């Protein structure tokens, strides 16, 4: 009987997602119904306990704090200044403006951790300029999508905080594990852009020296320092306190939100209206994350309570799969789910089911989470429903087609898969920094 209920749970969840029901309510609703069928009314007590467990989780306070930090930065004009400075420094390089987008997105990712804010901000800033300089449309769309999506991997990241909570691992070590693959991904993007533009000069023409001459070198250097130093202080303030052990990730997230508020004053963007808008946006985003986590915890608790883990284990045993085969299957499943939903739905579905299995095979939890975090970059740029693709669609200039965006995302999708493969072949890419830490 339990096996039938377990199969029905996944069938019902797939139907709910396919019919565009809100993910949090789909997960929670399917879990409650399955629990009532399997156990009766006592199942409701488990759902209530899981709801309380999420709301009582001290680590998850970091989620609204990091979101608030991102919203303050979005209104502070940090990205505006960073992009303008990088544009003037790299503009004479063929493909330089696209490289500037990746460079700024990398810094912005280390200060926000929210993909929607990064993609939209960089899109609004970069697309008009890249379009004006006749950059290839597909390259433009791909650069903004891929660069903006770095926010969920490069610390601090609400995805990593959520992932650490569900996998029951150290937040600090997981944040450390994501630094090298995040920077490697950014580096590979830049290498691809330079190579593509070198092979086809029409993809990314350089700025003319005449235009660049209108900006004195001293002014460009000063502008770069003014726009780069405050974000670096913020990054060091947040990540430095976490990695040094001075503050917990939760405490550091609150410090980050405060420093971001100070930066709005520094850039002359502070106002009560800005604070209000930031708080409202933070409340909406945080509520969405917590509803999904409550629903996911309820779903997984019912699934595990009905011996779902044992059923999956018996299935793996009957199939004769090795530990690496199970790991590969999890990564493939994450990639396939990423075609339809984002990390908020993928993490609570996959991690609680596969983590006990992989740990039984001897895999380190930090390593599993870090590699999963890398491949989850694809969920934002995988056709047909990658969220970043639709963020760009909403702001793309007239005459652009969805095909332009899809075409531009494919090379960056391949790069993410390549870096994921590199973390599998060279585990130290993700385990080196956590190994040096006492967190």
Q: Give 123-157 pLDDT, tens digit per residue.
A: 777 788 788 778 888 998 899 889 888 878 888 77
Confidence label for 103 from pLDDT (cuts 50, 70 and 90): confident
91: pLDDT strictly greater than 90: no
Element (H, E) at 428: helix 428-436
Which pLDDT belongs to residue 6?
Answer: 75
Backbone angles phi, psi at 216, to 5 degrees: -60, 150
Confidence label for 116 from pLDDT (cuts 50, 70 and 90): low
Between 262 and 14, residue with greater pLDDT: 262
pLDDT digits (tens, 9 = 90+) for 330-383: 999 888 888 777 787 788 778 888 888 888 889 999 999 999 999 998 888 887
Question: Which of 121, 174, 122, 170 is CA-nearest to residue 376?
Answer: 174
Which pLDDT belongs to residue 424?
Answer: 94
User: Cα–Cα distance between 119 and 127 in angstroms, integer?
Assistant: 11
User: Cα–Cα distance between 411 and 306 in angstroms, integer?
Assistant: 42
Hunting for tokens 């933070």 — which residue is that? 282
Q: First CA to last CA across the chain, in angstroms?
A: 44
Between 178 and 75, residue with greater pLDDT: 178
pLDDT digits (tens, 9 = 90+) for 166-175: 888 888 889 8
pLDDT digits (tens, 9 = 90+) for 172-187: 889 899 999 999 999 9
Query: Are the C-beta atoms of 91 and 100 separated by less than 8 Å?
Result: yes
pLDDT digits (tens, 9 = 90+) for 218-276: 777 777 777 777 777 887 777 777 777 777 777 888 888 888 888 888 888 888 888 89
pLDDT digits (tens, 9 = 90+) for 44-70: 887 788 788 777 777 778 778 877 887
In angstroms, what CA-CA distances link 104 with 89, 97, 275, 367?
Answer: 12, 10, 24, 28
74: pLDDT strictly greater than 60: yes
User: Cα–Cα distance between 172 and 304 in angstroms, integer?
Assistant: 28
Residue 150: Cβ within 10 Å count: 28
User: Cα–Cα distance between 414 and 419 in angstroms, integer?
Assistant: 9
Residue 17: Cβ within 10 Å count: 18
Which pLDDT belongs to residue 379?
Answer: 85
79: pLDDT strictly greater than 70: no
Highest mean pLDDT among 47-61, 115-129, 404-418: 404-418
Contacts of 277 (CB under 8 A, 6+ apart): 71, 75
Which pLDDT belongs to residue 291?
Answer: 81
Confidence label for 194 from pLDDT (cuts 50, 70 and 90): very high
Backbone angles phi, psi at 114, to 5 degrees: -120, 115
Residue % of the chain over a pLDDT of 70? 89
User: Cα–Cα distance between 16 and 184 in angstroms, integer?
Assistant: 37
Which pLDDT belongs to residue 2?
Answer: 63
Interval 75-80 mean pLDDT: 70
Query: Are the C-beta atoms of 69 and 151 separated by less than 8 Å?
Result: no
Which pLDDT belongs to residue 368?
Answer: 94
118: pLDDT strictly greater than 80: no
Confidence label for 414 from pLDDT (cuts 50, 70 and 90): very high
Query: Are the C-beta atoms of 173 and 434 separated by less than 8 Å?
Result: yes
pLDDT digits (tens, 9 = 90+) for 289-322: 788 778 877 877 787 777 766 666 667 667 777 8
Query: Are the C-beta atoms of 204 and 94 separated by less than 8 Å?
Result: yes
- Whether the bond between 156 and the residue before it is cis, its omega within 30 degrees of 0, is yes
Query: Are the C-beta atoms of 79 and 119 separated by less than 8 Å?
Result: no
Query: Are the C-beta atoms of 396 and 173 separated by less than 8 Å?
Result: no
Whole-model pTM: value is: 0.76
Long-range own/partner contacts, residues 18-25 (CB < 8 A, 24 or more apart):
18/340, 22/291, 23/292, 23/295, 23/341, 23/344, 23/345, 24/288, 24/291, 24/292, 24/293, 24/294, 24/295, 24/296, 25/291, 25/295
Chain centre to alpha carbon of residue 390: 16
């Amino acid at each position: 009987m339990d096996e039938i209920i377990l199969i029905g749970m996944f069938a019902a969840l797939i139907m709910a997602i396919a019919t565009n029901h809100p993910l949090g309510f789909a997960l929670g609703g399917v879990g409650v119904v399955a629990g009532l069928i399997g156990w009766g009314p006592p199942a409701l007590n488990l759902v209530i306990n899981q709801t309380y467990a999420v709301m009582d989780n001290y680590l998850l306070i970091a989620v609204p704090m990091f979101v608030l930090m991102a919203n303050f930065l979005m209104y502070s004009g940090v990205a505006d200044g960073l992009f303008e400075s990088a544009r003037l420094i790299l503009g004479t390089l063929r493909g330089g403006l696209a490289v500037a987008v990746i460079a700024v997105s990398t810094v912005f990712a280390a200060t926000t951790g929210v993909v929607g804010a990064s993609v939209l901000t960089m899109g609004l800033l970069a697309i008009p300029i890249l379009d004006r300089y006749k950059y290839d449309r597909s390259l433009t769309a791909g650069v903004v999508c891929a660069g903006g999506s770095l926010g969920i991997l490069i610390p601090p990241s609400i995805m990593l905080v959520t992932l650490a909570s569900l996998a029951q691992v150290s937040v600090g070590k997981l944040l450390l594990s994501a630094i090298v693959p995040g920077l490697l991904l950014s580096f590979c993007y830049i290498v691809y852009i330079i190579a593509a533009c070198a092979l086809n000069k029409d993809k990314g023409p350089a700025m003319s020296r005449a235009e660049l001459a209108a900006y004195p070198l001293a002014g460009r250097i000063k502008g770069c320092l003014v726009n780069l130093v405050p974000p670096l202080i913020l990054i060091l303030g947040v990540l430095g306190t976490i990695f040094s052990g001075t503050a917990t990730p939760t405490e550091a997230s609150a410090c980050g939100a405060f420093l971001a508020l100070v930066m709005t004053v520094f850039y002359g963007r502070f106002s009560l209206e800005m604070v209000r808008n930031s708080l409202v946006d933070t409340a909406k985003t945080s509520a969405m994350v917590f509803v999904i986590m409550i629903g996911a915890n309820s779903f997984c608790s019912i699934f595990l309570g009905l011996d779902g883990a044992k059923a999956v284990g018996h299935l793996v045993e009957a199939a004769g799969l090795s530990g690496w085969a199970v790991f590969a299957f999890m990564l493939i499943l994450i990639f396939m789910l990423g075609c339809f939903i984002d990390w908020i739905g993928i993490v609570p579905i996959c991690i609680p089911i596969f983590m006990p299995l992989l740990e039984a095979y001897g895999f380190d939890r930090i390593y599993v989470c870090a590699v999963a975090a890398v491949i989850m970059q694809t969920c934002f740029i995988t056709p047909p429903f990658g969220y970043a693709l639709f963020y760009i669609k909403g702001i793309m200039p007239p005459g652009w087609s969805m095909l332009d965006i899809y075409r531009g995302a494919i090379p960056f999708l391949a790069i993410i898969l390549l870096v994921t493969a590199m973390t599998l072949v060279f585990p130290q890419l993700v385990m080196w920094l956590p190994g040096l830490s006492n967190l």
